[in-house]
Structure 1
Amino acid sequence: MSAPVRLTHDGPLAILTMDAPPLNLFDLAMWEAWEAAVARLTDDPPRALLVRAEGRVVSAGVDVRVFADTDPADAESFWARWLRIAQALEALPCPTVFAAHSLTLTAAFELALACDLIVSTGSARFGLVERKVAFTPSMGGTQRLAERAGPGRARELVMTGDLYRASELAAWGVVNALFEPAGFHEAAHAYAMRLATGPTAAHAATKRIVRACLDGGVPAADAVLAPVAAGVVRTGDHRAAVAAFLAEGPEHRTAYAGR
C-alpha cells in the first residue's frame, strides 16, 4: 500500500499531499506519516509549504476506531504526540498554506489552523465535530480557531459541531482566499509558489513578529521587532530588492534567492 502522505518538491515549494482513499481518515498510519513528513520539513525547511489532498474530500477526520482503541491510561501521551505535529507545523520558518477543496473535518481542520494561510473553494465545508463522540478537539484546533475568529466563534463551532462553509469562515477571518472549484489545485499551487519565490527571510520575520504578538501582545512584538528587522537588513534579498527598487522603481522584478 502507498503511504497516506507524500512529501514532494517543486523547486522552492514543498508539497505535502494526503492520499489515503476514500476519506483520508486520520488513523495511526496517517498520523505517523504526518509526523515523519513534518520532521523532515523541520530538519530541512523549504521556502514555503503547500498542504493539499487528493480525493473527493480533504479528510473526513479521525477514524472513530482510534477512540475505541485508545486506553484511557495512555490518552494524555497519545494526544500530546499528535499535538506536537501541529506545533511543529506552526513553527516552520516559512509560509505554510493549507488548500481545502472540499470537506475538511477534525484533525485535518486542526492542521489547517496550524498553517499560516488557508485557501479553499467557497463551497468547501469545515467542522470540528468531536461532540459526536463526546470529545473535544485535541490537536490544538479550538485555541487556534479562537486566535483567528475570537473565543465566541470557537466555542460556537466546537460546541455545536456544525459544518461551516468556507465562504462563511472567510468572513470570520479563518479562510484567507477563495478560489473557483475549476482549477482549484492549480490556483492554490500558484498562490503557494508566489510565497515560495518571495523574500523568505522577510516572511520568516513576519511569522516571528505575529507569533510574538499573539503570545504576549503588542509590547512583546515591539520587543523583538528591532533585532528581527536588523536580521532581515543583512540578507542578500533585501539588499538586492532595495537596489532594484532604486534603479527600476516599485514594479521591479527581483528574483529572490531565499537568503
Structure 2
Amino acid sequence: MKLKTLFVALAAAALLPFANSAQADDKLELLVSGEISVATEGTYPPFSMRAPNGELDGLEIRVVKEIANRLGLQYKPVLVKWESVLIGLEADQYDIISDAMDITAERQKKVTFANGWLESGGRIVVRKDSEIAKPADVKGHAVGALVASNWASIAEGLGAEVKFYKAESDAMQDLANGNVDAIITDAIAAAYVIKVSNLPLKLVDEPVSSIQKGFAIKKGKPQLTAAINKTLGEMIADGTYAKLTSDLIGFDPAPKEPILTLTE
C-alpha cells in the first residue's frame, strides 16, 4: 500500500467514531448535534432555581442533566417565560420543555410528552403534633389556602373552614404558629419549604388531588422521545432518580404509575 493511501485509510478510520456519533445524534432528532437544549424558567423552586453559587439547580434541572449525560449530550438550558414556552418549542428554539409542565389532555394535543417524570398534586400540611391524619379529618377545622385556588375549593369540599392567603409562605407560617389547623397546597412545593425552613410541619400521606409532570417534545420526534423514556426508566430503576430528587424535597416523587407517551 502506498504511503498516501495508507494515510487516507488511517484518517478515515480515525474519523469513524465521530461519524457514528453524529449519526446517532441525527437519529435523536436534535436541533444541534451533540446538544440537547431545554426550556426552563430558572425561577420556580424547587423545580428550577439558582443555587447559592449562581448555577441552575432544581428537580427538573438535575433529572434532565442526568438524562443528557447518559445520552452523551451536552445540556443547554434556555431560560424562557412560562407564557411563551410552547410557542418557542413549536418554533424550534429548543428541543424539549422541562419547566414543571403538567401533563393534561389539552396539552397532549399540542405536544408529545415523555413518560410522566414526577407526581405531585394537593396535599394537606399539618403541624407535627396534629391529630389530622387523613383528608376527612379536616372537617370543621380552620384550613388555609391561596385565594381563588383549586386548593381552597378542595378544602371547602372537605367541610373545612377556609382561611384565605395571598402567599403560601404566610399560610405556612400561620400554620406553624397555630393560627390554622392545616393548609392545602402543592405537595412538592410544601415539602421543599418544610425541608429548607425546618418548620415543625409534615405532609398528610393521602393526597387530595394528583397531577404528573412531563417533558414536552415537539410532535414528530419519536426517537428523541423514546431515548428520554428509556433513560428516565433506567435512572428510576437504578436509584439515581431518587438520590437526585430526595436531596431537595425529602422523598422520591417518581410516579408509581406514570402517564405513558401517547403514540402519534
Tell me the TM-score range normalised by the shorter chain: under 0.3
Which one has the bigger strand percentage? 2
Q: Which has the larger radius of gyration?
A: 2
Which one has the bigger helix percentage? 1
Relative contact order (alpha carbons < 8 A, sep ≥ 6): 1 or 2 greater?
2
Instruction: State the TM-score, normalizing by the size of structure 2.
Output: 0.21
Instruction: State the TM-score, normalizing by the size of structure 1.
Output: 0.22
